[in-house]
A and B are shown apart, each in its own frame.
Chain A
Amino acid sequence: NAGVTQTPKFQVLKTGQSMTLQCAQDMNHNSMYWYRQDPGMGLRLIYYSASEGTTDKGEVPNGYNVSRLNKREFSLRLESAAPSQTSVYFCASSEWYSNQPQHFGDGTRLSIL
């Protein structure tokens, strides 16, 4: 039972490069989320998808785009990476976009030089 799977686990980019973080869940959940976690800042929501076919901005969406490819997959794209985007990125899912707990992938550590 994989749960939420993120790829890659680690990545180093140069400023200005682009990349896509992949996330897939096998729990048949309807809602998916992307967070970033920085020291002293806690988890901050970047984008979320309440259901297949919808995406919405979270607290810190600037510099990112997302695609809900199907019910299982939700990707996060950095079009032109900046050092300020160095962070740990977590994908999460929940059965519905409501009062339910979220289940997290094990994260992507991204460094931008």
Chain B
Amino acid sequence: RKEVEQDPGPFNVPEGATVAFNCTYSNSASQSFFWYRQDCRKEPKLLMSVYSSGNEDGRFTAQLNRASQYISLLIRDSKLSDSATYLCVVNRNGGSQGNLIFGKGTKLSVKP
């Protein structure tokens, strides 16, 4: 299994739709999980952290399933401005090659 794996998409959805992204990770010892958003030709920006109990920020809900080693991001009532690439990020617990592993991202395109 790859360290962090995401469906590359693209996900093409109409405005107002609900869309879900999943991400799997390989290191069962990982402790921290994040979703980042990256707009075209821009830097990645932290969207939200993912907590064990699940967490919500407005239209965005993140969930963690430690047993199955996957993380999800749900976007409700999609807006045109949600169009971006969403990166799943997991910490590499221990090891010597930096502390965060970034997935390659899932591209979302919200259409009018």
Contacts and interface: CB of A to CB of B under 8 A. Distances in A.
A43 B96 CA distance: 17
Nearest to B99: A97
Contacts of B34: 101
Contacts of A107: 42-43
Contacts, number: 49
B17 interface: no
A37 B97 CA distance: 16
A99 B34 CA distance: 10
Interface residues of A, number: 25
Q: Which of B89, B97, B99 has the most CB of A within 10 A?
A: B99
Given A57-B97, A98-B99, A101-B46, A40 B32 contact: no
A99 B91 contact: yes
Contacts of A101: 34, 46, 49, 89, 100
Nearest to A61: B97
A103 B98 contact: no
Contacts of B42: 106-107
A12 interface: no
A57 B96 CA distance: 8
Contact of B103 (A42, A56, A94): A42
A59 B32 contact: no
A44 to B, nearest CB: 8
Interface of A: 31, 33, 40-43, 45, 48, 56-59, 90, 94, 97-107
